[in-house]
Structure 1
Amino acid sequence: MVLIAAPMASSGGGGITLLLPLILIVGMIWFMSRSQRKQRQKQADTVAALQPGTKVITTSGQVGIVEEVDDEYVTLEISDGVLVQFVKAAIGRVIPEETDDAVADEPVDEAADQIAVEPAETKDTVDVPGTGTEKVQDKGKLPPTHSEN
C-alpha cells in the first residue's frame, strides 16, 4: 500500500471569511456612535431651548424651575426662595407643562373619589398568669387582598 501526501484543499473564500467579522464590528461601532451622537444633539437642543419658567429635571434627579440662563450656568428654583446654580450640561430633560385641557380629557373615576374607610384595629385583653392583671394585645391586621388599592 502506497500513501500519497496530498495538500489539503482550501476553501475558496478565505479572504471574505476573515473580513466579515471585521465588517460586522465596524458596523456595530458606527451604529452605537450614531445613537450617541443623536442623544448629544437632543441634549444640546434641550439646553439651548431653556427659558425662565421651564420646569426641568437634572441628570442627578433634582427637579426645579428655571429662573435664569447664563452662558455656562442655569439657575433653578428648587423650593420657594431656594435658588441653585447648575452647569447647563447637568439639565437632563424638560418636564412638559400640564394644560387644563389634558386634565379635562381624563375620564372621571367615581370609585377613586370615594374614600375607603378601614376599620380601626381592635385590641384584645389577655390575663397575665399569676398577677391578676390584664395586658392589652394588638390584633394583627390581615394581609391586603387583590381588591385593595
Structure 2
Amino acid sequence: MQLLAVPMASSGGGGITLLIPLILIVGMIWFMSRTQRKQRERQAQTVASLAPGTKVITTSGLVGIVEETDDDYVTLEISDGVLVQVVKAAIGRIIPDEDVTADEATDSTDEAADAVEEPAADKDPVDVPDAGRDKADGKVQDAPKTPPTHTEN
C-alpha cells in the first residue's frame, strides 16, 4: 500500500483576510470619536454663548429665558416669576430670536385678511330643509363612530 502526500489547498493571502476587518473596526471607531468630538465642541460653543435674555431649550425639553449664568449653573425663567436652576450641560440649544419672522407673519396675515371678501348682507342664506336629518322622526343623526385603531396598556 502506497500513501501519497497531497498538499492541502491554502486559502491564499491569509494575512490580508485578517487585516481588512481590523482596518474596518479601527475606521469605525475613529469616525465615531470624530463625530462625538464635533458634538462636544458645538455644546461648548452653545454654553459659552449664553447671556441673560437668551431663549434656550434644555436637553429634557424645558423652554426658558436665561436670567443668570454661573460657573456651573444657569438660571432660567420658564414662566412669569418662575425661576429654575439647571446645569450648564443641560442646555440643548439656543432658540433664535423670531422678531423678524413674527413681523413678516403679521404682514402676511394682514394682507390675507384684506383679500378675503366679506359676504353681502343682502343675500339670503341657503336653506336645505332635510339636510342631515332622519326622515322618520326629524332628529339629527350622529355620525357613525369608528372603533379605536389601537389599545393602550
Higher relative strand content: 1
What is the rounded CA distance, in whole Å, between the counterparts of 1:61 and 1:28 in structure 2? 31
Name 1:89's counterpart in structure 2: 89
Write out the 4+ residue segments of structure 1 that deviate beyond 6 Å after TM superposition.
none
What is the rounded CA distance, in whole Å, between the counterparts of 2:68 and 2:48 in structure 1? 13
Q: Which runs of 5+ in 2 are unaligned?
A: 117-131, 146-153
Deviation of 1:139 after TM superposition, in Å, equals: 3.0
What is the rounded CA distance, in whole Å, between the counterparts of 1:15 and 1:41 in structure 2? 39
In the TM superposition, what are the counterparts of 1:1-149 in structure 2 within 5 Å?
Answer: 4-100=4-100, 103-104=103-104, 108=108, 110=112, 139-141=141-143
Q: Which runs of 5+ in 1 are unaligned?
A: 115-121, 128-136, 144-149
Name 2:150's counterpart in structure 1: none
What is the rounded CA distance, in whole Å, between the counterparts of 1:16 and 1:106 in structure 2? 66
Deviation of 1:11 after TM superposition, in Å, equals: 3.4
Cα RMSD (Å): 3.4
TM-score (norm 1): 0.70
| % identical aligned pairs | 69
What is the rounded CA distance, in whole Å, between the counterparts of 2:39 and 2:85 in structure 1? 24
TM-score (norm 2): 0.68
Name 1:132's counterpart in structure 2: none
Aligned length: 127
What is the rounded CA distance, in whole Å, between the counterparts of 1:67 and 1:6 in structure 2? 84
What is the rounded CA distance, in whole Å, between the counterparts of 1:69 and 1:7 in structure 2? 76
